[in-house]
Structure 1
């Protein structure tokens, strides 16, 4: 299941790159202008590449010490894979023409909702592994929970951005700021509890 999931992630990332526009121009100035005109496509690619890579990293983290699976875990994994293979489509939506607030909110909101679903499914898989004792019993609990702040930070950041996109096109900032803030709070809390 892990090898299959890794292969699906690799294909999704490859499909992202296939959608990139190739700049054209007979002169260096025209070539640069073509790159500038498609900058939103390149930025959307980088964001989605980072999002898929982070999701893959979290997936590998939670499966690292898994000894067996069950039907529900396999179903959850299939739902997670669905969110991954929809990323190239959602990325293409980000760069679709249309500047009115409602269209922008729908396009970016769909992208954020997809990422929320992906992170929520990873959390559900992690809980399933714990409740059904599908992991190696010798794995320390703090190692299992190490990625939780990242998962919850991403879930909150993408989730909060959905309604905000209907107010401002800069709601994507929450995708970066909230996970970092949650991670910082978690590290500070860990240090404080270690000091006591």
Structure 2
């Protein structure tokens, strides 16, 4: 039995194998209590517990993700609906933070053209963590708040991906990894996807 690793590159949820085979990996589900948004190919959850910014980051990280990042109107509306299902009268922290004088997402990305700040916000250089306001207060718009203040919060995470569905190994057994699959070829076959008959070379 020969073991061949097929290195793959995921781009827009398409899996390219040696530029010859194009497969769509199967999404096997979100973490518990997360909701899937097809627009971003990601899972989101509104937590009803109260955490500081650092505690919220740690909670999201334990789920395999980060604080949620509403980069566009569709994602923002989805997050607002999620947090309103938990509480309409609470502030919810999300993954936007003031670094020096610049607002950045928790993955280091710059705040783009989309924002949803409440009127006259952000208004305090010492308030470095973004949060959603309650529904009755500017209709769930963004606010800057103190990172040490405990807030409810929103997380995002990638859904689990099975790179072996559909099975890319023609004559062999597939083992799925985080970003690659490995084909263990049947006797008499080789190649990244076990598609080459040794006897025909």
Relative to total residues, which structure has the larger helix share, 1 or 2? 1
TM-score norm. by structure 1 comes to 0.22
The structure with more radius of gyration: 2
- With CA pairs under 8 Å and 6+ residues apart, which has the higher RCO, 1 or 2? 2
Instruction: Select the structure that is richer in strand.
Output: 2
